[in-house]
Structure 1
Amino acid sequence: MPTNTVTKKRVLALGTPRFAVAEFEQLCKSYDVDVVLPHPSDRDDTVKRIHEAAAARAADGGYDAMFWLFGTSAYSPFDEHMLTPVLASGRCGLLASGGAGYNDVAFEWAAERGAYVTNTPDGPTQGTADMALLLFLSALRQARLTEQTMRSGHWRQGLPLMDDPQALTVGIYGMGAIGRAFAKKIAGAFPPRRIIYHNRSRLSPKQELEAGGAEYVSFEELLKTSDVLSIHCPLTEQTEGSIGADQFAIMKDGVYIVNTARGAVLGEAAFIAAIESGKVAAAGLDVFDNEPRPNPFWLTCDRVTVQPHWGGFSKMTIKRGEGYVLANVRAFLEAGTPINPVNKP
């Protein structure tokens, strides 16, 4: 007698999880999962591998969903050139991305082709806020400068006295989950004199209280009043380059800058000029323009502590984030709607 066969839905996985292994194994049992291993440093090679996988499945109708995880800067952006073969059949309805930011994904283009793009908004919250805290202290105590002085054999000779967080006004640009977590951490560890913030919309009184009594101010007042400016906003058309020469000009002399959001929020040329002039006393940066090959200035300036976009790369953060990515895939394949869409097909 003839038997009815049910074709499993198909998923293209760009890489495999390091920690959410059980969840991935369950996904592989439920669906037909093809794994493409990205090249660690060659974007063109990674794109070629994706295109080859899509071509191999084209005769069967293509994929229903695709996902990628973390540490993708070597082969991002996830643009039309990379993804067109995956979406060409019209069958693929989900592109599930790791990380909170999605400025490197062509999400509007994907929506026009009927595909959701998802992120993991809560996955990197604590890890990135911890990194902001580390860079906050590193900037205030000028950790790069003091370490270089000691390593060069001069002990603390010539070092200036540093600032204390308790005496300062800390300004937060962008009060989403990461900004609020950062405010809560600094308020609990060493309460600054004042925490102020600017956001697209004001938080509720309860959220402001939980964020160390943070006060909502205008963008201009944030720039004029902050002794430390910590950047946590997403990179959008509105925020890209929103801190440039005119904005640095109205900041306090000797301001400190911390950035764990996206490098392009600050105009790089104006930022470098502000550091060289002393307008910015010191900075702590985890994000840059042109990652993973930032301007050499950031690698040589003794008043800047740098990290390689590493805030979200802790064991707990990656495990949670991987779980969120796979949960978005499963929710879409089972119900047709993902948990964390950033667009609307």
Structure 2
Amino acid sequence: MTQRAALLIGNLAHTREEWEIECAQVASKLHEYPDGSREDFISKCKSGAFDGVFALYRSNDSNKITGNFNDELLDALPKSLKFICHNGAGYDNIDIPACTKRGIQVSSTPVAVNDATADVAMFLMLGALRNVTQCFQAVRQGNWRGNFSLGHDPKNKTLGILGMGGIGSAVATRAKAFGMKIQYHNRTQLPAKEEDGAKYVSFEELLKTSDVLSLNLSLNASTRHIIGKEQFDMMKNGVIIINTARGPLIDEAALVDALKSGKVWTAGLDVFEEEPKIHQGLLQCENAVLLPHIGTATYETQRGMELLVLDNLKSAIKGEKLLTQVPEQKQVRANL
């Protein structure tokens, strides 16, 4: 068999043993690049330090080391590289068309992130329905309820889910337990069995008729700022916005205006357009419930994500096949 080495970029918090033992059993050699800079990493690639690497492990966290996997970085990677195994449900920092053009297959970590992210979406949704930020801040300042106002019950509210994939479906399951009515919009309607009673509607109808709108779709060129002033204008007065997907899905400046005008009653956000920087207007809005991108931040989920990436890596080395290849590449394969 051709020599097939593996490369780990960044660190492993929960699966060091699996990397060192299980991956060593299938890879000809294990390389690691735990820290450094983009310039240094590219230099090492060009010097031949990682020649023979067939599959690599990278993550959203390791992006701070290498920067985005764009044309510049992809051109520097060893020609032997055929698989990128990514730790993260979102992979907007990887240029998928550029990888596909070079014959590099990419995997992500769907399924493993569904429950934890959906839990945080419900946490934000309930917090936004009750408008908890103002009271939360007041009680810590010794001001008891502060400028208290009544919230809303989730029961009988219409939840609109934009992006009914694994996470969106998990949000729907949880929301139904609170008595919410579920509708959704995808590019294509799901089979009835997968809808589980949810109503499929157009994008425009979703915006016009939802009491609560949850964003659960991937970020790409077509979805960036999919929610902006034009879309807010179409929504119900007093709508509630939840985003646990990617910050740039929303035009934050337009969201701030909508929060201040009352068009959006409250918002629950775990992600931001320029994170870790947060729009000052959002920080000033007491009707915004904010979390620092902790949707998948549980021990169980983080270990599950790492294991799934390593399983993809082992499958790539042994059988030249990914278990959870990104859908854009699966679609390309299906059209061949």
TM-score normalized by structure 1?
0.88
Deviations 1:234-292 (A, max 9, x none): 11222221111111001111111000111111122211111111111111101111222
The answer to whether the aligner puts 1:68 opposite 2:62 as a matched pair is no
The Cα of 1:161 is off from its aligned counterpart by 0.5
The Cα of 1:16 is off from its aligned counterpart by 3.0
Partner of 1:318: 302
Aligned length: 326
> For residues 1-345 of structure 1, what are the structure 2 equivalents within 5 Å?
8-25=3-20, 26-31=22-27, 32-38=29-35, 45-57=36-48, 61-72=51-62, 74-75=64-65, 76-86=67-77, 89-188=78-177, 190-192=178-180, 194-209=181-196, 213-342=197-326, 343=329
Q: Which one-letter code corresponds to 1:57 in the other structure? A: G
- In 2, the alpha carbon distance for the partners of 1:281 and 1:36 equals 46
The Cα of 1:18 is off from its aligned counterpart by 1.6
Deviations 1:43-69 (A, max 9, x none): xx43134224424535x8442121113
- In 2, the alpha carbon distance for the partners of 1:179 and 1:116 equals 25
The DSSP-based 3-state class of the residue aligned with 2:87 is: coil
- In 2, the alpha carbon distance for the partners of 1:308 and 1:317 equals 17
Compare 260-269 and 221-230 and name the one that shifted more: 260-269
Contact 2:134 2:146 in 1 (8 A): no
Contact 1:202 1:216 in 2 (8 A): yes
Structure 2: give runs of 5+ residues left out of the alignment.
none
Compare 219-228 and 231-240 and name the one that shifted more: 231-240
The Cα of 1:124 is off from its aligned counterpart by 0.7
- In 2, the alpha carbon distance for the partners of 1:196 and 1:15 equals 40
Deviations 1:167-205 (A, max 9, x none): 4111111100000001101212x112x211111121222
- In 2, the alpha carbon distance for the partners of 1:48 and 1:73 equals 13
Partner of 1:3: none
Contact 2:89 2:110 in 1 (8 A): yes
Q: Which one-letter code corresponds to 1:165 in the other structure? A: P
- In 2, the alpha carbon distance for the partners of 1:9 and 1:106 equals 24
- In 2, the alpha carbon distance for the partners of 1:144 and 1:78 equals 37
The Cα of 1:340 is off from its aligned counterpart by 2.0
Q: Which one-letter code corresponds to 2:54 in the other structure? A: D
- In 2, the alpha carbon distance for the partners of 1:135 and 1:46 equals 35
CA RMSD for the aligned pairs? 2.0
- In 1, the alpha carbon distance for the partners of 2:91 and 2:205 equals 29
Contact 2:10 2:62 in 1 (8 A): no
Distance 1:73 1:114, change over 3 A: closer
The Cα of 1:208 is off from its aligned counterpart by 2.1
Q: Which one-letter code corresponds to 1:308 in the other structure? A: P
Distance 1:340 1:290, change over 3 A: same
